[in-house]
């Protein structure tokens, strides 16, 4: 608790007065004790009133009064000296007094409770991060982060969870247990067998003209943010084109509202004819009485009236960004939604984002969009606004966090995600990896906004140096011996010296079974967890959750009815030769009304009726 200057002065005065009173009581008690002992009476019967009683009874006996006087003086020196020492400010060590937290400190801080993120183990108890704050784990590859942090949390976290599951290891180990109390989904969009749930970003676009533009622009910003350095023209042009195309498919009846359809629409046509095609579509929609919205037309015209080379470059930049959706596996996985991303705090949902290591880079944009959209959709309403509905927390275990690419929504929201019951647990190989994606300042902000940082033994000496520096320095006594060159007695000098709590080399040598946790108390040196050696976790290892595959569909380019181009050709003796290349669908005649005779023996009368029916249909 912080005190004002006035409150601080009052507190000091109160403390001094309290110590004086206690010193007086102690003086009287000790004086009575020593007096009884001196006159060979039972000293344990002494009370603070013993001196007063003997003083009143024997004040005319000089010898008794002399003894009482010296007992009081001796007791006063002891008592006031002892309590006075408490008023002397503790001398700060010259170079600091860094140390690791003791068990009582850890317990008093609430880290040995039963709820929160599991960080490690200390003296047989799990170290858990309580509250609504997140954590960061910095660990080298193959250092046991899955075994020691990810799996224990997935087998213990009681509410919703989103996890980037490299190799789908966590799904195999923990989905069976989590399916007992939560809905389980695996997003594995490159599964050739269709073993994935579905996620369509467009399902969260408001189905009203006034809200639609804002939602689509938000998605466009996730897909094509402005670069930290460089020309923002190309990302901005791509966002505008995306807005126009997305609005077009939303405003066209029967058009699939998917990313795959957006890509197919812009890739239909070649070179400079693309702009001409879209100009023609706008004109035909205007003529049909079903015009596109002014926002849609403005966004498309921005692309149409761009010069040829620039237009081609914008289109190429756009398709290069979204070419992933040409893959029918991705298109099918993003054509619908298996559940609502807004429900993570309404009911228990476990979402595993299954990624093979070889697909990390290829799926970066899709996974980036998914995580950002989950965060965005779940920071629209505070838990206090709907406590009966938003009943659960949602933890994000983001392994290989930087493989998702830069997420601007994360840097903006990390400081207040906890207020929305969104708990991030970022897993990286080291702070330098985080800085390479987010820059020095944003990386520092992310680390600072998280409640705890877990560090395994690093291999890199530079990162070991950062940990050593964060641990701080301590003051140690150093002894130096001076020996005279011409003989004589040596002298010994003892002085204070600075030493890191752990030197970089010592940090590297903490071992494979220990870790360091930084939080709001002294650093915690504790043991790693091995889920397969913990009885509580072993019994939760159940067979993986199973589900039905989705249908993989290869979709063709769709031309809406009002945009279909038709060419009318009248068959004459000069072009009769083309008739063999035409199908019945190419004729503007309803041949389905022709009465075709059935059976093997067709009479002349039946044949004549069929001919008349055919000629009648052509006449109509």
Condensed to tens digits (0 to 9), the pLDDT of residues 413-429 reads 999 999 999 999 999 99
Task: Tell me the β-bridge partners of 527.
Answer: 121, 514
How many residues are there in the chain?
A: 620
Question: Cα–Cα distance between 291 and 273 in angstroms, integer?
Answer: 22
Who contacts 159 (Cβ-Cβ below 8 Å, separation ≥6)?
Answer: 348, 392, 393, 394, 395
For the chain, the domains span: 12-85, 107-196+347-457+510-538, 201-330, 570-619
Q: Give the burial class of 445: count Cβ atoms within 10 A of its Cβ; 0-12 exposed, 13-18 middle, 19 or more buried.
A: middle
Cβ–Cβ under 8 Å, residues 409 and 372 = yes
Q: Which fold has domain 107-196+347-457+510-538?
A: Rossmann fold (3.40.50)
pLDDT digits (tens, 9 = 90+) for 322-364: 999 999 999 999 999 999 999 999 999 999 999 899 999 999 9
Cite the DSSP H helix spans in 354-424: 364-377, 408-413
Model confidence at 88: pLDDT above 80: no
Q: Give the burial class of 533: count Cβ atoms within 10 A of its Cβ; 0-12 exposed, 13-18 middle, 19 or more buried.
A: exposed
Who contacts 75 (Cβ-Cβ below 8 Å, separation ≥6)?
Answer: 26, 27, 28, 29, 30, 31, 34
Instruction: Give me the percent of the chain exceeding a pLDDT of 90.
Output: 61
* pLDDT band at residue 564 using 50, 70 and 90 as cut-offs: very low
* pLDDT band at residue 50 using 50, 70 and 90 as cut-offs: confident
Q: Give the burial class of 496: count Cβ atoms within 10 A of its Cβ; 0-12 exposed, 13-18 middle, 19 or more buried.
A: exposed
- pLDDT given at position 2: 47
What average pLDDT does the chain have? 87
Question: Cα–Cα distance between 102 and 524 in angstroms, integer?
Answer: 8
When mean pLDDT is compared across 82-96, 247-261, 267-281, the lowest value belongs to 82-96
Question: Cα–Cα distance between 597 and 606 in angstroms, integer?
Answer: 6
Order the strands of the 524-527 sheet from edge to edge: 125-129, 117-122, 524-527, 514-518, 452-455, 135-138, 422-428, 394-398, 160-166, 349-355, 183-187
């Amino acid at each position: 608790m912080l005190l004002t200057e006035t409150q601080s002065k009052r507190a000091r005065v109160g403390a001094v007065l309290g110590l004086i009173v206690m010193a007086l009581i102690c003086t009287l008690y000790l004086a009575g004790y020593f007096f009884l002992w001196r006159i060979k009476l039972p000293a344990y019967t002494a009370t603070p009133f013993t001196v007063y009683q003997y003083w009143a009874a024997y004040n005319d006996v000089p010898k008794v009064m002399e003894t009482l006087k010296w007992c009081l003086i001796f007791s006063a020196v002891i008592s006031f000296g002892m309590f006075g020492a408490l008023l002397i400010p503790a001398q700060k060590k010259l170079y600091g007094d860094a140390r690791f937290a003791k068990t009582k400190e850890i317990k008093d801080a609430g880290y040995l409770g039963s709820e929160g993120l599991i960080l490690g183990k200390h003296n047989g108890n799990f170290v858990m991060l309580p509250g609504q704050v997140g954590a960061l784990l910095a660990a080298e590859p193959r250092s046991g982060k899955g075994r020691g942090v990810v799996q224990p949390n997935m087998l213990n976290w009681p509410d919703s969870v989103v996890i980037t599951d490299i190799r789908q290891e966590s799904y195999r180990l923990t989905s069976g247990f989590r399916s007992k109390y939560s809905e389980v989904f695996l997003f594995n969009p490159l599964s050739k067998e269709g073993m994935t749930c579905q996620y369509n970003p467009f399902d969260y676009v408001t189905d009203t003209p006034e809200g639609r533009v804002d939602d689509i622009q938000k998605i466009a910003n996730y897909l094509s943010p402005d670069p930290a350095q460089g020309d923002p023209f190309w990302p901005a042009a791509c966002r505008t084109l995306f807005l126009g195309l997305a609005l077009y498919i939303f405003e066209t009846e029967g058009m699939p509202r998917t990313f795959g359809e957006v890509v197919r629409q812009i890739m239909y046509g070649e070179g400079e004819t693309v702009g001409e095609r879209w100009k023609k579509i706008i004109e035909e929609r205007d003529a049909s009485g079903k015009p596109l919205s002014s926002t849609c037309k403005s966004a498309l015209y921005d692309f149409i009236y761009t010069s040829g080379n620039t237009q081609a470059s914008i289109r190429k930049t756009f398709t290069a960004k979204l070419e992933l959706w040409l893959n029918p596996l991705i298109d099918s996985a993003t054509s619908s939604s298996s559940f609502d991303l807004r429900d993570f705090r309404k009911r228990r949902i476990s979402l595993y984002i299954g990624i093979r290591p070889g697909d990390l880079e290829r799926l970066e944009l899709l996974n980036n969009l998914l995580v950002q959209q989950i965060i965005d959709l779940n920071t629209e309403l505070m838990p206090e606004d709907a406590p009966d509905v938003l009943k659960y927390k949602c933890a994000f275990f983001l392994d290989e966090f930087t493989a998702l690419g830069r997420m601007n929504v994360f840097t903006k929201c990390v400081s207040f995600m906890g207020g929305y019951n969104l708990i991030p647990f970022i897993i990286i190989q080291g702070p330098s990896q985080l800085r390479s994606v987010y820059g020095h300042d944003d990386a520092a902000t992310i680390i600072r906004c998280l409640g705890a940082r877990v560090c395994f033994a690093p291999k890199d000496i530079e990162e070991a140096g950062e940990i050593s520096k964060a641990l701080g320095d301590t003051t140690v006594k150093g002894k130096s011996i001076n020996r005279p060159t011409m003989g004589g007695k040596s002298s010994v000098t003892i002085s204070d010296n600075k030493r890191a709590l752990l030197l970089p080399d010592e940090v590297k040598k903490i071992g494979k079974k220990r870790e360091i946790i930084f939080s709001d108390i002294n650093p915690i040196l504790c043991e790693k967890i091995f889920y397969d050696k913990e009885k509580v976790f072993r019994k939760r290892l159940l067979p993986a959750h199973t589900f039905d595959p989705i249908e993989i569909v290869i979709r063709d380019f769709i031309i809406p009815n009002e945009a279909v181009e038709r060419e009318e050709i009248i068959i004459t003796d000069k072009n009769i030769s083309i008739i063999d290349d035409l199908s019945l669908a190419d004729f503007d005649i309803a041949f389905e009304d022709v009465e075709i005779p059935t059976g093997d023996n067709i009479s002349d009368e039946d044949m004549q009726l069929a001919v008349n029916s055919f000629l009648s249909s052509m006449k109509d």
